[in-house]
Structure 1
Amino acid sequence: MIKKWFKNMGPGPLVAAAFIGPGTVTVCTLAGVGFGYTLLWAMVLSILATIVLQEMAARLGIVAQKGLSEIIRTEIQHPIIKLFVVLLILSAIVIGNAAYQAGNISGGVLGLETVLEHQNITVNNLTINPLNIILGVCAFALLYLGNYKVLEKVLISLVLLMSLSFLYTAIVTKPNIVEVLQGALIPIFPEGSLLTIIALIGTTVVPYNLFLHASLVKEKWHSEKDLKWARRDTVLSVILGGIVSICIIVSATAIQATEINNATDLAKGLEPLYGSYAKYFLGIGLFAAGITSAITAPLAAAYVATGCLGWARHMKGFQFRMVWMGVLLLGVCISSLGINPIEIIKFAQVANGILLPVIVGFLIWIMNKHSVLGLYKNKLWQNILGGFILIFSIFLSMATLNKVLGLNIF
C-alpha cells in the first residue's frame, strides 16, 4: 500500500515546495517571536483554504487536461475583460515571480551560509556571492532537463529534507503541547497582529500555485480515475507543508528576543540554547525551502505565460524555456549583485493582492461549468467552502493594498 502511494505521489509536494519559501520561513519566524503560539490558528485556516482551492485546481487539470491560465483565456469571451485579466495574471505571476525569485535564491544561500563558510568575490568593484550563482545553476540544470519525473523526485526529496529539518528543530525546543493545540484551535487576535495574520495566510494561499497545480497534474495523470490519487496527494502534501510552517512558528516561540528578524537570526538564536545541531538543521531546512521555491517559481511563470499567450506548453518548448530562463536569470542577478528589488516586490504584492480574489472567483466559476468539467463540476458544499474563501480573499486583498499603498481601508 505504501509503495503504491509513493508511486502515485504527484505534484502535491511541488505545490508544498512552492508555498514554503524563504518568505514563508521569515513570516513564520516573526509570528513565533512576536506572538508565540497564538497565531497558529491562522496557519490552520490557511491550510484548510489551500486544500479546498488546490483540489479544485487539480481536478480541473486532470478532467480538462488544460492549465488554468489556458482555460481562463478561452472561456472569457469579452475581449476587454479577457485582455485585462490576462495582463493582470501575467503581471502578478510572471513579473511577481521574477521579483520574488531573488528572495528565493538569497534564502537558499542564507541556509547554506548558516552551515558553511563563504567567500565573496569582487569583480570591478562589484561584490558577488558565488553561492547565488551556484544555486541558480542547479535550478537551471533541473529545469532545462525538462523531465517532469526527475524534477518531481528531486523536489519531493528536498521537501522531505526540509520537513525533517524543521520538525527536528521544533522538537528540540520542547514546546508546550497544550499551548500549541490552544493556539491552533482557538482564534486570538493579539494587539498589532493583523498584518502578521494577513502575511501568514497570504504566504500559504498563493495564486500562482493554482496555475502550477492545474498544469502539473496533467503531466502526471490523464484520466478521471486518477482523481482519488490526486486528492490524496493534495491533502497530504498541503498538510505536510502546513506542519512545516507550524514547526517554524513553534521553533521561533522558544526565542525570547526582539532582535530576531529572519530565519538566519533564528538559527543563531537557537544555537546557544539547543546546541549547534539546531542551527545546522534549521540552515538545511532554509536551504531546501530556498532551492525548491527557486525551481517552482520560474516553472509556474512559464506555465502561466504560455497558457495566457497560447504558446506551446511542454517543458522543452523554446518559448516555455525562455520564460523560466528570464525569471531565473533576473533572480540570480538581483540576488548576486545586491540590487534592492523592493519596488518590484511592492508591485508584485499589489498585483497578487488584486489577483487572489479574481482568480478564486474565476476558479469557482469555471469549476461550475458543465462544458468544462461535466459530471466533475463543483458540488454544493464545495461552492459554499469556495464562497467563504472568496469573501476572505477579498478581505485579504484589501488588507494587502492597505499595507502596501497606505490606503487606510481599515
Structure 2
Amino acid sequence: MLNHGPLSDQQTQQEALRVLERHSQKRGLARILPFLGPAFVASVAYMDPGNFATNIQAGAQFGYLLLWVVLLSNLMAMLIQSLSARLGVATGKSLPEVVRQEYRPWARYLYWIQAEFAAIATDLAEFIGAALGFHLLLGIPLVWGAVLGALATFALLGLQRYGFRPLEAAIAVLVGVIASAYVLELFFAHPDPRLVTGFVPQFKGSESILLAVGILGATVMPHVIYLHSALSQQRIPVLDVVQKRKLLSYSNMDVVLALSIAGFVNMAMLVAAAATFHHTGRTDVADITTAYQTLSPLLGPLAAGVFAAALLASGLSSTTVGTLAGQVVMQGFVSFSIPLWVRRLVTLVPSFAVILLGFDPTQVLVISQVVLSFAIPFALVPLLLFVGNPRLMGDLVISRPIKGVGWLTAAVIIGLNLYLLAQSVG
C-alpha cells in the first residue's frame, strides 16, 4: 500500500462503495465522474517528454504521413491499460503483488530489480523533461529548472496523504494543460485539412518505417501497467461479481476517455510539427530544444511559450506518476516500502548528475527508451497470463478473442522494441 495514500484510505473506499450504488442510477457524465482518475494518472505516460521528441521528429520529417501509427499505438495502449485495471478489480491485487503470489522468490526479486531499473530510467527522462520545461519557459539554467522541478514534484506527491482524489485531480489538471496547450498549438499552426490522408497506412522509404517502429515500439510504458492495476485494486472494497462488473465498466470508460485525450495530444504534437516545420522546409528539427527555438520565429513567442508550458506539465505529471509507480513496484514485488519523499530524493540523484555533467537531454531520452525495451516483456507477458487465468480472475477472465488480440499486441510491441534495441546497439 502507498503510505497514507490512495490505496490505504479505507474510509474513502467505503464512501466509494456507496457512490457506486448511488451513481449507478444516474446517466451520462454524472454517472461515471466519481470513478474517473486511475486511467488519467496512467495516461500521463503516453504524453511524456519522450513522446514530444518522437512526435516532433515524425511530423517534421514526414508531415502527416505517420498519423495512423499514432492512432494504432493509442488503441494498443487502451487495450493494455484496460487489462491492467481489470486485473486490479478482479483480484484486489496489483500486478507486482500477483507476481509475488504466483512466482518463486528468485523470480520475484528478478522482476523487482529490472522494474526498479526501468522506473529509474523512465523517471530520468521525465524529470529532465520537467527541468527543460522550466528552463525554456523561464529562461533559467537547466540546473535551476531541475531544482524547481524537484520542489514541484514534492508538492504534488504531498497531495496523496489526503487520499487518492486530490492527487488524481492535480494530475487531471496537468493533463488538461497539455491538451489545452496543443489546442492552441493547432490554432497557431493552421494545419492543412488534407491531414486526414495521414490516417491511411503508408510509408515513404526506410526512414519512415524506422520512425514508425519507434512510435509503436514505445507504446507501452511498463511502470504504468504496474501502477494502473494498483490504483484500481482497492478503489472499492471487496465486491461481489455483479458489482465488480459494474466497476469494470466504469473503469473501461475511464480508460477510453483518458487515453482518447492522450491520443489527441500525441496526434496534435505530430500535426503541429508537420504544419510548422515540415511545410516550411525545416525537416531537420528532431529534438525538443530545437523545436522550441524554431517555433518562436515561425509562429511567434506565444506559440513557443505554450509549447514550453505543455512540456513542463508533461514532465511534472509524468515524473510524479513515475515515483508512485516505483513505490507500487517495491511494495508489490518484495513487500517493502519507504516514504515517498525518500524515494523521490533517491531518484533525483541520477537526474541531477546527468544535468550537472552536461549530457544531451535528447540522448538521455534515447538511452532511457533502450532500458525500457528490456523491461516491457516483464510487465506485459505476466499481465496477459494472469488476466487469461480463470483461477485468478474468476468470472472476469478475458474472452478468447480479447486474449488473441492481447497476445498479438504483445508480440508486435515486444518485437518492435527488440528491433529498436538492435538498432540502438548496432
Mapped partners of 1:54, 1:365: distance in 2: 15
Post-superposition CA distance 1:359-404 (Å, at most 9, x none): 3222111011122110001112211211211221231132122123
The answer to whether the 8 A contact 2:213-2:416 is kept is: yes
Q: Which amino acid aligns with 1:291?
A: L
Structure 2 equivalent of residue 276 of structure 1? 301
CA distance in 2, matches of 1:345, 1:104: 8
1:286 and 1:394 map into 2 onto residues whose CA distance is: 28
Q: Judging changes above 3 Å, is the alpha-carbon distance between structure 1 residues 396 and 228 closer, same or farther for their aligned structure 2 residues?
A: same
Aligned partner (choices 372, 394, 397) of residue 417 of structure 2: 397
Is the CA contact 1:96–1:347 (under 8 Å) kept in the aligned structure 2? Answer: no
* Residue from 189, 192, 195 that aligns with 1:176: 192
Q: Given the alignment, which residue of 184, 188, 198 partners 2:213?
A: 198
**1:306 pairs with 295, 314, 331, which one?**
331
Q: Distance in 2 between matches of 1:130 and 1:373?
A: 48
> Aligned partners of 1:63 and 1:97: how far apart in 2?
25
- Residues 78-227 of structure 1: pairs in structure 2 closer than 5 A: 82-83=107-108, 86-91=109-114, 93-118=115-140, 120=141, 129-147=143-161, 148-178=164-194, 180-222=195-237, 223=239, 224=244, 225-227=246-248
1:287 equivalent among 312, 317, 330:
312
Relative distance call for 1:344 and 1:117 in structure 2 (3 A) is closer
Determine the structure 2 residue equivalent to 1:265.
290
CA deviations on 1:130-158 (whole Å, 9 max, x unpaired) are 22111112112322443322211111000
Cα distance between partner residues in 1 of 2:398 and 2:220? 20
* C-alpha contact 1:349 1:400 (8 A) present in aligned 2: no
* 1:287 partner amino acid: L
Q: Which runs of 5+ in 1 are unaligned?
A: 121-127, 313-317
Q: 1:102 to 1:150 in 2, by over 3 A?
A: same
- Residue-by-residue CA offset, 1:257-294 (whole Å, 9 max, x unaligned): 14423223223322233222211211111111111111
Contact kept, 8 Å, 2:218 with 2:417, in 1: the verdict is no
Q: CA deviation at 1:166?
A: 1.4
Separation in 2 of the partners of 1:96 and 1:345?
13
Alpha-carbon offset, residue 176 of structure 1 = 2.0
- Say yes or no: does 1:369 pair with 2:396: no
Output the CA distance in 1 between the equivalents of 2:344 and 2:92.
22
Secondary structure at the counterpart of residue 106 of structure 1: helix
Distance 1:308 1:324, change over 3 A: farther
1:48 aligned onto 2:75: yes
In the superposition, the TM-score normalised over structure 2's length comes to 0.83
Change (3 A) 1:57 1:260: same
Instruction: Decide whether aligned partners of structure 1 residues 354 and 106 sit closer, same or farther in structure 2, where only a CA change above 3 A counts.
Output: closer
Provide the rounded CA distance (Å) in 2 between the counterparts of 1:97 and 1:52: 22
Does the CA contact (< 8 Å) of 2:88 and 2:232 recur in 1? yes
- How many percent of aligned residue pairs carry the same amino acid? 24
Aligned to 2:268: 247
Letter of the 2:181 counterpart: S
Whether 1:30 and 2:52 are equivalent positions in the alignment is: no
- 1:354/1:250 Cα in 2 relative to 1: closer, same or farther (>3 Å)? same
> 5 Å matches for 1:323-342?
323-336=343-356, 338=358
Structure 2 spans left out of the alignment, 5+ residues: 1-27
- Tell me the distance in 2 between the aligned counterparts of 1:136 and 1:106: 10
In the alignment, which residue of structure 1 is the partner of 2:13? none
Match for residue 124 of structure 1?
none
Please give the alpha-carbon distance, in whole angstroms, between the structure 1 residues aligned to 2:55 and 2:41.
20
Deviation at 1:24, TM superposition (A): 0.9
3-state SS in 2 of match to 1:146: helix
CA distance in 1, matches of 2:45, 2:286: 22
Superposition CA RMSD, Å: 2.5
Q: Deviations over 1:7-60 (max 9, x none)?
A: 321111111112211111011101111111111111111111111111100011
Structure 1 counterpart of 2:3 = none
Residues 390 and 99 of structure 1: CA distance in aligned 2, closer, same or farther (over 3 Å): closer
Alpha-carbon distance between aligned partners in 1 of 2:363 and 2:139, rounded to the nearest angstrom = 31
- The 3 A distance-change label for structure 1 pair 322 and 111 is closer
Say whether the 8 Å CA contact 1:72–1:362 is kept in structure 2: yes
Secondary structure of 2:190's match?
Answer: coil
In the alignment, which residue of structure 2 is the partner of 1:125? Answer: none
Judge conservation of contact 1:9–1:233 (CA < 8 Å) in 2: yes
Structure 1 residues 271 and 346: CA distance shift in structure 2, 3 A: closer
Structure 1 position 337, deviation (Å): 5.2
TM-score (normalizing by structure 1): 0.86
Which letter maps to 1:182? T
> Which residue number corresponds to residue 68 of structure 1?
95
Distance 2:121 2:374 in 1: 17
Instruction: Name the SS of the counterpart of 2:178 in structure 1.
Output: helix
Of 390, 399, 411 in structure 2, the residue corresponding to residue 379 of structure 1 is 399
- 1:341 is displaced (CA, Å) by 8.9
